[in-house]
Structure 1
């Protein structure tokens, strides 16, 4: 018997600024199947499901739900049509009980006016749990649940709303082996009950355990859709990472000198576990791994933004303790954050203020030297070719690439800096700005600075790094000399194949 097509996306296009995130992507989901979406970080997977959940509107394309052409899709309409998304960070109310969360916004009234029938809600919640084989106490407060239990609760809540489609985005990235096994078994149970499930994961062993079909995305384009029985892990990896060599930056070699930074057994419980590595002067040390592998948390500890539970950091053979980012700045450590809008930009402030703020924080002067600020910022704007109308223009009015160059320029004013940490330095910038940022990094290396570069972009890692540290499940499992390393080999190390 043919299964009903419950969701169909046709020729979906999504553009952010100058970056085309999705390029005429087709996708469909049938009832009673698990359809997995795979691809590298940035391939377009999350954007595609955000469009289906109504959180993002595409530039063009068509969406069909249960065979009906759907326009103006938004989160509320998606839920009404039976589409529920279960995110890694559970969207639940911790101060309410399990049963209260299941019925939140759809409470059962008792015979007494304005009073909720809590007993009936508990009974109905227990009925849903029995159907799913979930062992949860309806009276337990959500704050006391584990990550896996919260995800199962979200699934139960979706079934209470008569969901026909459940979307899972990297659901096991924070789960242990037993919790992962229980969640996958639950999804298989839901499939047997006729639900359609879209499942995103970097863990290919999970994909081949549960998938009926899988669709591969690469650089915003659909590579193909395959039955899980007609393709293997190695073929999937090749299709995920194969790309034109023109996307690789051709960098010049830089002389590498003595060790500047040494990290010894750095640990943050549950996040980073005993990481040890060093970085030399003139070296670009790349750090790669899947989202959730502990990459950003590791470099945040080196910058003083996150306090380690154990381990040591040595700079120029001197053991240092960093209680804050200001401590790191005073030691000559600079940090360009992945999230420039939240952690890098001072919105509502102009270009000059955003450029000079770090230098002013390090200055011992009581009063600001406004003339000097203008001189310094003018030099950085010229040096980095920052496209700006005038020095009073607000930073949020600049393009993504010019915002990023402004944040990098902020640290170039600190001439005493020793170590530069770039976390996803070219995320959301166009090709022209990307190559300018690469050139800045190389110039810093030529000046004898040390560079740590965290990146999800494998061509970037392979083009720019002298060595690559591989993070997986909070550990640095490998440190590779970047000689003849292939994308396929790197991806296998990232996912543990």
Structure 2
């Protein structure tokens, strides 16, 4: 079984503060993971290690066959796509949706070199694959927040990444926009040469049938990890949330978790 991500005894200490402690985690081929944690759990720190922005204070990290300290990190970053609010803030409002998508080929927020119609058609095709053909030709500034997020997803797929990270991807979306975006994930995993998905959230109900595995992160530590059905057990979640919770099925293997009311 191929390991696409491997953390061994990973610790991260910044300015004397322990952000991540003794992480051991493996992701294998054909697994798609959700990382669930409350605010301050260490999710952002974990992502920054994955993308090579932070270096572990101790332990070993291997991502997509690249072992940190023994590889060219620029080559690794070319294999990773990211959907995150910090990227959205950098994109020009006066570009069309398909031009924004095309910037994903260059890992840039702008089109810094000339492009031809074939490349632009490829970007349009990507939007159509994600059932977003109706926004082709529209300025990025005119799009709804949900439409902008779908553009970011399409953009991240342009360079055919081996790993796609979605970091709080539904933040700021209304209910319908959130559900539309989540449905796009099912489209992604059916694409030829689909990337490994890592979906980072603090909302358990966003963990759709697209995801086979879940990692629970709490106070910088992994408290549970494994197949989704094994993790979403009532006793496990009681311990994770430090209080009794109740589970409500939402269909398609999704759950809504709320504090248990007497």
Fold conserved between structures, TM > 0.5? yes
1:100 aligns with 2:99: yes
Task: Give 2:253's aligned residue.
Answer: none
Choose which of 69, 82, 88 in structure 2 pairs with 1:85: 82
In 2 relative to 1, CA 105–196 (structure 1 residues): closer, same or farther, beyond 3 Å?
A: closer
Contiguous gaps of at least 5 residues in structure 2: 107-111, 249-255
**Partner in structure 2 of residue 479 of structure 1:** none
Change (3 A) 1:55 1:147: farther
Structure 1 unpaired stretches of 5+: 108-113, 243-486
What is the alpha-carbon distance in structure 1 between the residues aligned to residue 18 and residue 175 of structure 2? 37
Displacement of 1:209: 4.3
1:29-108 pair list within 5 angstroms: 29-71=27-69, 76-80=74-78, 82-89=79-86, 90=88, 91-104=90-103, 106=105
Q: How many residues align?
A: 242
Does the CA-based 8 Å contact 2:205-2:257 persist in structure 1? no
Cα shift at 1:87: 0.9
Where do 1:94-243 residues align within 5 Å?
Answer: 94-104=93-103, 106=105, 116-193=114-191, 194-207=194-207, 209-232=209-232, 234-242=234-242
| Residues 106 and 51 of structure 1, relative CA distance in 2, 3 Å threshold | same
Q: Is the 8 A contact 1:98 1:142 kept in 2?
A: yes
SS in 1 for 2:202: coil
Report matched runs for 1:396-411 at 5 Å: none
Give TM-score scaled by structure 2 length.
0.79
Q: 1:29 to 1:488 in 2, by over 3 A?
A: same
Distance 1:120 1:59 in 2: 45
Taking a change above 3 Å as real, the CA distance of residues 143 and 101 of structure 1, as seen in their structure-2 partners, is same
Task: Look up the SS of the partner of 1:140 in the other structure.
Answer: coil
CA contact (8 A) 1:13 1:22 kept: yes
Post-superposition shift, 1:208? 5.2
Question: Could you tell me the TM-score, scaled by structure 1's length?
Answer: 0.44
Give the 3-state SS of the residue equivalent to 2:157 in structure 1.
Answer: helix
The answer to whether the 8 Å contact 1:223/1:239 transfers is no
Would the alpha carbon gap of residues 195 and 162 (structure 1) be closer, same or farther in structure 2, given more than 3 Å must change? same
- The answer (yes or no) to whether the contact 1:99–1:121 under 8 Å persists in 2 is no
Higher RCO by CA contacts (8 Å cutoff, separation 6 or greater): 2
Does 2:15 match 1:11?
no
Task: Encode CA deviations 1:36-72: one digit per residue, 9 max, x unaligned.
Answer: 1112221111110111122222212222133342338
Spell out, residue by residue over 1:437-492, the C-alpha distance to the aligned partner (whole angstroms, 9 max, x if none): xxxxxxxxxxxxxxxxxxxxxxxxxxxxxxxxxxxxxxxxxxxxxxxxxx446xx9
Other structure's SS at 1:103 match: helix
Give the aligned CA root-mean-square deviation in angstroms.
3.0
DSSP-derived class of the 2:5 partner: strand
In 2, Cα distance between the equivalents of 1:125 and 1:51?
A: 30
- Note the C-alpha offset of 1:75: 7.7
Structure 2: how far apart are the matches of 1:212 and 1:88?
A: 25
Residue by residue over 1:52-103, the C-alpha shift from the partner in whole angstroms, topping out at 9 and shown as x without a partner, is 12222221222213334233889854431x1122113424222222222223
Question: Secondary structure at 1:104's aligned position in 2?
Answer: helix
Match runs of 1:460-475 below 5 Å = none
SS in 2 for 1:63: strand
Distance 1:29 1:122, change over 3 A: same
Distance in 2, Cα, partners of 1:57 & 1:146: 36
**Separation of aligned partners in 1, 2:47 and 2:72:** 12
Question: Who is 2:23 aligned against?
Answer: 25
The equivalences for 1:292-331 within 5 A come to: none
Query: Aligned partners of 2:13, 2:29: CA distance in 1, in Å?
Result: 30
Mark the CA change 1:156 to 1:73 in structure 2 (over 3 Å): closer, same or farther: farther
Aligned twin of 2:252: none
Give the Cα–Cα distance (whole angstroms) in 2 for the partners of residues 235 and 171 of structure 1.
28
- The answer (yes or no) to whether the contact 2:98–2:127 under 8 Å persists in 1 is no
